[in-house]
């Protein structure tokens, strides 16, 4: 019986960021850093969190983390995510397909596209550098 599942996270659930405690609280363990296939785009939602969506054109690889999550904790994690984020399948650049946090189309339409940064951490680092 399946009791754990890999989950790709691309924003505030990552190690050291604001919502990482939500993963730790359900007993999730960090597996590895990874990247998506180059078929995703990324948006900043109010500069508070990202939203990632698979696209048919104009995508690129997005940096993320893969966590191993107890299946019973998956719902708890999703319910604590900001509105408009959901769980779907994410294709990694090594060919593996895992569950991951994605953004609904309506949410992405309200954000600022940050795909060219290649990930949330790179975007945050650029924002900090610009503010100095």
Q: pLDDT tens-digit profile of 81-93? A: 999 999 999 999 9
Cα gap 18→15, rounded to integer Å: 9
pLDDT band at 132 (very low <50, low <70, confident <90, very high): low
pLDDT at 128 over 90: no
pLDDT tens digits, 20-67: 999 999 999 999 999 999 999 999 999 999 999 999 999 999 999 999
Distance between CA atoms of 84 and 42, rounded to whole angstroms?
14
pTM: 0.94
- Host domain of residue 80: 4-131
Mean pLDDT value across the chain: 95
Residues 6+ away with beta carbon under 8 Å from 84:
45, 51, 103, 104, 106, 107
Our count of domains for the chain comes to 1
- Domain with residue 119: its CATH number is 3.10.490.10
């Amino acid at each position: 019986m399946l009791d754990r599942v890999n989950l790709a996270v691309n924003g505030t659930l990552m190690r050291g960021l604001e919502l990482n405690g939500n993963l730790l609280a359900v007993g999730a363990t960090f597996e590895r850093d990874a990247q998506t296939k180059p078929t995703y785009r990324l948006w900043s939602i109010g500069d508070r969190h990202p939203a990632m969506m698979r696209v048919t054109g104009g995508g690129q690889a997005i940096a993320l983390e893969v966590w191993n999550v107890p299946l019973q904790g998956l719902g708890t994690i999703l319910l604590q995510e900001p509105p408009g984020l959901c769980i779907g399948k994410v294709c990694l650049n090594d060919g593996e397909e895992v569950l991951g946090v994605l953004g609904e189309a309506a949410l992405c339409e309200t954000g600022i596209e940050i795909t060219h940064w290649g990930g949330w951490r790179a975007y945050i680092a650029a924002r900090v550098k610009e503010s100095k």
